[in-house]
Amino acid sequence: MLKEKMEIALNDQINKELYSSYLYLSMCAYAQSLGMPGIANWLKIQAMEELTHANKFFDYVHERNGKVLLKAIDEVPTDFGSVTDMFKNVLEHEQLVTASINNLVDISIEISDHATRSMLLWFVDEQVEEEASVQEIIDQLNMVEGKGHGLFMIDKDLGSRTFVDSTQQN
């Protein structure tokens, strides 16, 4: 059974993951409006991935006999500037999510919730991958100054991303 402090924190994380999905879907719509279908594809898949993360937390709370309490999702921005600026926003957001996951780990250690700590380590590793992936895109965008043929090639490359539910691999 989950202790109250952990249950509250996990419910907050579910909300954050749903917000992340909504944010990336908004970015997807923005990329589509810029005529960047590959970037839109990458962001839509990112939105789907965040939804699977929310579901992983959702299922875990139930598995531990906790109660899921869904809250309203904050409104997300709809204008993100340049493609490079948008991906810098993605990185900043992923860093916030990483901090939130790390806080959950801290709580699990504080209250000696070893089962939750074990589950959270998957998310710790996932966040390392998330940040590295986005940083690689930013580095590529900086290399081509976010425009021209280079941007076209990056868009084309990001269009090849396919959805894989990484929460089911383990």
pTM: 0.94
pLDDT digits (tens, 9 = 90+) for 86-142: 999 999 999 999 999 999 999 999 999 999 999 999 999 999 999 999 999 999 999
Domain residue extents for the chain: 4-168
Q: Is the pLDDT score of 170 beyond 60? A: no
% of the chain residues with pLDDT over 90: 91
Q: What is the per-residue pLDDT for 91? A: 98
Q: Answer yes or no: is pLDDT of 169 > 80.
A: no
Contacts 24+ apart (CB under 8 A), 155-163: 155/36, 155/37, 155/38, 155/39, 156/38, 157/38, 158/38, 158/39, 158/41, 158/42, 159/37, 159/38, 159/39, 159/41, 159/42, 160/38, 161/41, 161/42, 161/45, 162/45, 163/45, 163/48, 163/49
Superfamily of domain 4-168: Ferritin, core subunit, four-helix bundle (1.20.1260.10)
